[in-house]
């Protein structure tokens, strides 16, 4: 098996300093026999799911059978116990055979032959502290108490001044939007880096937008009321630089003013290298934490607390067990990608800053974030769940274009057959949470000192299964995607699909499907972790009724189909225009039907929408004159 990045891990920072990015700073390899740490170094790839499966045809077959058994019986825990029993029994037989002839080598060879997975080590996270639980609690209580006192001193109108990283991202834009009407917030200072704009075809640099220019464009697209616009200030910076790369004179200004730091910037890419993910997610978080600590320790500083945005997928692959909010254990079934792994490392850094250095910090952990709960609006985001949805929609559009010749039609049919299988187990549950709920949680935390020292999942309690997602895709996008068993897909279907599509002259589609399958397949296999929720309501005081995931996912599909044209509309100004109109139309439909727009039946929604909207130009149709009364 190819081992990506299989060398000692040293990430190169933007300053070209060599940074120690070794996983051993956070994770220990421990012998299962002696319980002692094995000091033989850890390579990042060893911590991913891919490194530990599909190594043997017997194991591949067992995984496939397990998935079938779970579908038949619905009893995942039982099937998992069965798998462990068979694995253990086969290991014992191999050991006995080895003992009979007095050869460990034979026992090992026998195990390899029958596909026994037999590791003599496990990984665990290093303790963040050696202090007793009682001492950690005493310190956390003190930090909460200090934050509460600082907030109280600001009076009933706290006039908060918040430094925000990641303002140009999906969550960041929603934060800017919601802050406009949040009377507690007096100023928001967003740290932005310049943006290099390239020609989409030639990839040549067209222009470089300064942070100030980017900020002005953001405000223009969010269409915020004039009065609110003076709340926003944009400063140049880069989270990968010490001090967030903010100029010294600006830092001096901020030191006397800031009450909060909200660190939201990250690399949210499921296929990025370990080094890149480490730099953005771990080093970036460390820089933000250190920046906040400097503010907190400055004399006369009004600083209240730091808010770290993480992800509930720091719990990795847990196979249908509950991922509790407070605890973080190395996942028994490893991590899906370096994004999850490095976000978990960042969370450990956050714990260390709090416990060892006394930073007042809360950790908020969204699950998979999708567009607005009512309208599906996502301000042009095309990543995470949007990527497969847009790919299905585009593949369907390409396939439904009438072929000129009989040969083209046959080819179209063949492409459709291979392109519309997606790896996933029908029973796999995904935890999707709309962006408006997540940002409500982030803003609530600004004035909740009790959030300090806690991990809070911003997730849902009404998860959605893969089979329901595909049903909604069929209803909303007219796409006939089939779920195929993930193990079979990885090992058999994908190589075949790739070869077939290349033969049919579709190398781009072959690449896209391979990428989607390998990146997202992991999230729709059987045995997904269940992220516990409760702290969002108990601590942050959010509404007990969490958004309806099925409606939100339906609106994501509708939004991506009509507003984004499955990701083909890339111009940010055009997206902003369309989303404003979409919002108005959703409100009108709700008033006319008396139902939440996500609850309107697909056929009725389409008919009502087409009455009001030219879906190609995305402009309103002229209102029909009221029907004339017939003379009797
Ligand atoms: N989206 C999800 O489904 C999801 C789920 C759970 C948790 N989260 C967490 O939520 C946070 C925001 O995610 P998102 O979806 O909004 O991400 P996003 O859309 O990819 O935005 C990432 C943001 O980080 C900024 N950034 C990255 N590297 C930077 C650097 N070196 N210096 C300055 N800014 C930098 C980007 O700025 P540029 O515009 O300059 O690139 C952008 O504003 C992340 O911490 C993520 O882990 C997201």
For the Cβ of 525 lying below 6 angstroms from any atom of ligand 1, the answer is: no
- Collapse the DSSP code of 458 into the 3-class scheme (helix H, G, I; strand E, B; otherwise coil) and give the result: strand
pLDDT for the residue numbered 70: 66
What is the chain's alpha carbon radius of gyration, rounded to the nearest angstrom? 26
**Domain annotation covers residue 83:** no
For the Cβ of 378 lying below 6 angstroms from any atom of ligand 1, the answer is: no
Q: Give the domain range for residue 335.
A: 160-353+363-371+431-445+454-458
In this structure, the residue with its CA closest to atom 14 of ligand 1 is 170
Number of the ligand 1 atom closest to the C-alpha atom of 239: 32
For the Cβ of 266 lying below 6 angstroms from any atom of ligand 1, the answer is: yes
Six token digits for residue 60:
């591949």
d(CA 74, CA 129): 41
Q: Which of 13, 164, 171 to mutate to test the pocket of ligand 1 (most atoms within 8 A of CB)?
A: 171
In this structure, the residue with its CA closest to atom 13 of ligand 1 is 171
pLDDT tens-place string over residues 285-326: 999 999 999 999 999 999 999 999 999 999 998 665 688 898
- Say whether both 280 and 406 belong to one domain: no
In the structure, what pLDDT confidence band is assigned to residue 392 with cuts at 50, 70 and 90?
A: confident
d(CA 224, CA 320): 43
**Domain annotation covers residue 47:** no
Residue with tokens 């909207």: 613
H or E element, residue 263? strand 260-263
22-26 long-range contacts, CB within 8 A, separation 24+: 23/47, 23/341, 23/345, 25/126, 25/345, 26/125, 26/126, 26/344, 26/345, 26/348
d(CA 599, CA 579): 19
**Domain annotation covers residue 120:** no
pLDDT for the residue numbered 322: 81
For the Cβ of 380 lying below 6 angstroms from any atom of ligand 1, the answer is: no
Q: How far, in Å, from the CA of 191 to the mean position of ligand 1?
A: 12
Q: How far, in Å, from the CA of 276 to the mean position of ligand 1?
A: 13
In the structure, what pLDDT confidence band is assigned to residue 493 with cuts at 50, 70 and 90?
A: confident
For the Cβ of 166 lying below 6 angstroms from any atom of ligand 1, the answer is: yes
**Domain annotation covers residue 246:** yes
DSSP for 395-445 reads HHHHHHSPPSSHHHHHHHHHHHHHHTEEE--TT-EE-EEEHHHHHHHHHHH
Q: Which residue has the higher pLDDT, 62 or 605?
A: 605
In this structure, the residue with its CA closest to atom 32 of ligand 1 is 238
Q: How far, in Å, from the CA of 521 to the mean position of ligand 1?
A: 22
DSSP conformation class of 626: P
Asked if residues 458 and 433 have their Cβ atoms less than 8 Å apart, the reply is yes
Name the percent of the chain lying above pLDDT 90. Answer: 62
Asked if residues 214 and 234 have their Cβ atoms less than 8 Å apart, the reply is yes
Q: How far, in Å, from the CA of 267 to the mean position of ligand 1?
A: 6
For the Cβ of 459 lying below 6 angstroms from any atom of ligand 1, the answer is: no
For the Cβ of 309 lying below 6 angstroms from any atom of ligand 1, the answer is: yes
Name the percent of the chain lying above pLDDT 70. Answer: 82
Q: How far, in Å, from the CA of 586 to the mean position of ligand 1?
A: 28
- Say whether both 553 and 421 belong to one domain: yes
d(CA 586, CA 606): 12
Q: Which bin fits 253, alpha (ψ -120 to 50), beta or left (φ > 0)?
A: alpha
d(CA 386, CA 389): 5
**Domain annotation covers residue 330:** yes
Q: How far, in Å, from the CA of 459 to the mean position of ligand 1?
A: 18
- Say whether both 407 and 435 belong to one domain: no
pLDDT for the residue numbered 64: 65
Domain count, the chain: 2
For the Cβ of 174 lying below 6 angstroms from any atom of ligand 1, the answer is: no
pLDDT at 114 over 60: no
DSSP conformation class of 575: H
d(CA 564, CA 295): 41
Q: Which bin fits 622, alpha (ψ -120 to 50), beta or left (φ > 0)?
A: beta
Mean pLDDT, to the nearest integer, of 146-170? 97
pLDDT tens-place string over residues 151-162: 999 999 999 999
Q: Which residue has the higher pLDDT, 145 or 530?
A: 145
Mean pLDDT, to the nearest integer, of 344-353? 97
Mean pLDDT, to the nearest integer, of 353-375? 97
- Say whether both 233 and 253 belong to one domain: yes
- Say whether both 412 and 331 belong to one domain: no
Number of the ligand 1 atom closest to the C-alpha atom of 245: 32
For the Cβ of 173 lying below 6 angstroms from any atom of ligand 1, the answer is: no
d(CA 450, CA 148): 8
DSSP for 97-154 reads HHHHHT-HHHHHHHHHHHT----SEEEEEPPS--S-HHHHHHHHHHHHHHHHHHHHHT
- Say whether both 328 and 338 belong to one domain: yes
Query: What is the average pLDDT value for the chain, to the nearest integer?
Result: 87
pLDDT for the residue numbered 102: 72
Q: Which residue has the higher pLDDT, 618 or 531?
A: 618
For the Cβ of 62 lying below 6 angstroms from any atom of ligand 1, the answer is: no
**Domain annotation covers residue 137:** no
d(CA 151, CA 302): 9
In this structure, the residue with its CA closest to atom 40 of ligand 1 is 193
User: 3-state DSSP helix/strand/coil percent for the chain, to nearest 5?
Assistant: 50, 15, 35
d(CA 317, CA 337): 10
pLDDT for the residue numbered 116: 53
Six token digits for residue 468:
């329901």
pLDDT at 17 over 70: no
Q: Which of 167, 169, 267, 381 to mutate to test the pocket of ligand 1 (most atoms within 8 A of CB)?
A: 169
The pTM assigned to this predicted structure is 0.89
> Max alpha carbon distance in the chain (Å)?
106
- Say whether both 323 and 301 belong to one domain: yes
- Say whether both 523 and 404 belong to one domain: yes
Six token digits for residue 147:
């934050």
For the Cβ of 238 lying below 6 angstroms from any atom of ligand 1, the answer is: yes
pLDDT for the residue numbered 8: 46
pLDDT tens-place string over residues 412-441: 666 666 667 778 888 888 899 999 999 999
Q: How far, in Å, from the CA of 603 to the mean position of ligand 1?
A: 36
pLDDT at 453 over 70: yes
378-382, 479-483, 595-599 — which is least confidently predicted? Answer: 479-483
Mean pLDDT, to the nearest integer, of 257-270? 97
pLDDT for the residue numbered 200: 79
CATH number at residue 203: 3.40.50.720
Number of the ligand 1 atom closest to the C-alpha atom of 195: 40
pLDDT at 518 over 60: yes
For the Cβ of 264 lying below 6 angstroms from any atom of ligand 1, the answer is: yes
- Say whether both 270 and 400 belong to one domain: no
Number of the ligand 1 atom closest to the C-alpha atom of 339: 47
Q: How far, in Å, from the CA of 456 to the mean position of ligand 1?
A: 19
- Say whether both 338 and 404 belong to one domain: no
- Say whether both 253 and 216 belong to one domain: yes
**Domain annotation covers residue 27:** no
Select, from the ranges 72-81, 151-160, 483-492, the one with the highest average predicted confidence (pLDDT).
151-160
For the Cβ of 364 lying below 6 angstroms from any atom of ligand 1, the answer is: no
pLDDT at 118 over 70: no
pLDDT at 15 over 70: no
pLDDT tens-place string over residues 90-99: 666 666 766 7
For the Cβ of 215 lying below 6 angstroms from any atom of ligand 1, the answer is: no
Q: Which of 164, 265, 457, 533 to mutate to test the pocket of ligand 1 (most atoms within 8 A of CB)?
A: 265
C-alpha pair distances (Å), 179 with each of 176, 183, 381, 442, 459: 5, 8, 20, 11, 21
**Domain annotation covers residue 536:** yes
Six token digits for residue 107:
């026992």
- Say whether both 190 and 339 belong to one domain: yes
For the Cβ of 307 lying below 6 angstroms from any atom of ligand 1, the answer is: no
d(CA 512, CA 497): 11
22-26, 260-264, 326-330 — which is least confidently predicted? Answer: 326-330
Q: How far, in Å, from the CA of 262 to the mean position of ligand 1?
A: 12
């Amino acid at each position: 098996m190819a081992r990506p990045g299989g060398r000692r891990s040293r990430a190169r920072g933007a300053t070209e300093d060599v940074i120690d990015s070794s996983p051993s700073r956070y994770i220990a390899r421990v012998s299962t026999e002696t319980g002692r740490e094995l000091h033989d170094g850890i390579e990042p790839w060893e911590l991913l799911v891919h490194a530990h499966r599909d190594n043997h045809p017997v194991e591949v077959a067992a995984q496939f059978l397990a998935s079938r058994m779970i579908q038949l019986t619905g009893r995942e825990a039982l099937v998992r116990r069965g798998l462990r029993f068979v694995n253990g029994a086969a290991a014992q037989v191999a050991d006995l055979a080895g003992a009979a002839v007095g050869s460990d080598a034979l026992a090992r060879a026998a195990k390899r032959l029958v596909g026994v997975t037999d590791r003599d080590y496990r990984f665990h996270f290093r303790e963040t502290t050696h202090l007793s639980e009682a001492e950690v609690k005493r310190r956390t209580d003190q930090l909460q108490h200090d934050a509460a006192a600082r907030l109280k001193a600001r009076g009933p109108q706290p006039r908060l001044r918040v430094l925000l990283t990641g303002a140009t991202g999906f969550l960041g834009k929603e934060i800017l939007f919601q802050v406009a009407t949040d009377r507690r917030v007096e100023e928001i200072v967003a740290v932005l880096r310049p943006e290099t704009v390239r020609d989409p075809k030639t990839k040549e640099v067209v222009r470089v937008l300064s942070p100030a220019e980017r900020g002005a464009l953001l405000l223009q697209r969010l269409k915020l009321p004039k009065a609110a616009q003076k709340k926003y200030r944009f400063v140049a910076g880069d989270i990968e630089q010490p001090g967030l790369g903010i100029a010294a004179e600006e830092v001096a200004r901020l030191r006397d003013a800031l009450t909060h730091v909200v660190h939201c910037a990250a690399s949210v890419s499921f296929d990025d290298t370990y080094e890149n993910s480490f730099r953005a997610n771990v080093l970036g978080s460390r820089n933000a934490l250190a920046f906040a600590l400097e503010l907190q320790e400055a004399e006369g500083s009004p600083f209240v607390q730091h808010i770290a945005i993480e992800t509930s997928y720091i719990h990795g692959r847990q196979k249908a067990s509950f991922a509790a909010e407070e605890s973080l254990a190395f996942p028994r079934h490893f991590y899906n990608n370096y994004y999850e792994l490095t976000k978990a490392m960042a969370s450990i850094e956050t714990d260390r800053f709090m416990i060892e250095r006394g930073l007042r910090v809360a950790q908020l952990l969204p699950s998979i974030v999708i567009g607005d709960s009512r309208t599906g609006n996502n301000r042009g985001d095309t990543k995470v769940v949007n990527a497969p949805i847009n790919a299905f929609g585009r593949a369907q559009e390409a396939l439904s274009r009438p072929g000129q010749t009989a040969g083209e039609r046959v080819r179209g049919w063949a492409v459709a057959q291979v392109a519309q299988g997606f790896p996933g187990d029908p029973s796999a549950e995904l935890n999707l949470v709309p962006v408006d709920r997540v940002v409500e949680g982030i803003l609530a935390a600004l004035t909740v000192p009790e959030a300090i020292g806690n991990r809070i999942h911003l997730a849902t309690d009404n998860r959605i299964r893969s089979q329901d997602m595909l049903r909604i895709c069929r209803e909303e996008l007219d796409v006939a995607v089939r779920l195929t068993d993930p193990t079979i897909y990885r090992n058999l279907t994908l190589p075949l699909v790739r070869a077939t599509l290349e033969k049919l002259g579709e190398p781009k589609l072959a690449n896209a499907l391979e990428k989607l399958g390998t990146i997202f397949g992991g999230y729709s296999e059987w045995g997904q972790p269940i992220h516990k929720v409760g702290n969002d309501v108990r601590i942050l005081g959010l509404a007990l009724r969490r958004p309806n995931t099925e409606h939100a996912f339906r609106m994501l599909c509708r939004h991506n189909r009509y507003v984004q044209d499955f990701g083909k509309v890339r111009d940010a100004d055009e997206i902003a225009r369309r989303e404003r109109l979409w919002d108005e139309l959703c409100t009108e439909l709700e008033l006319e039907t008396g139902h939440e727009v996500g609850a309107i039946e697909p056929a009725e929604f389409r008919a009502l929408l087409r009455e009001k909207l030219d879906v190609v130009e995305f402009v309103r149709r002229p209102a029909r004159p009221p029907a004339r009364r017939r003379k009797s």
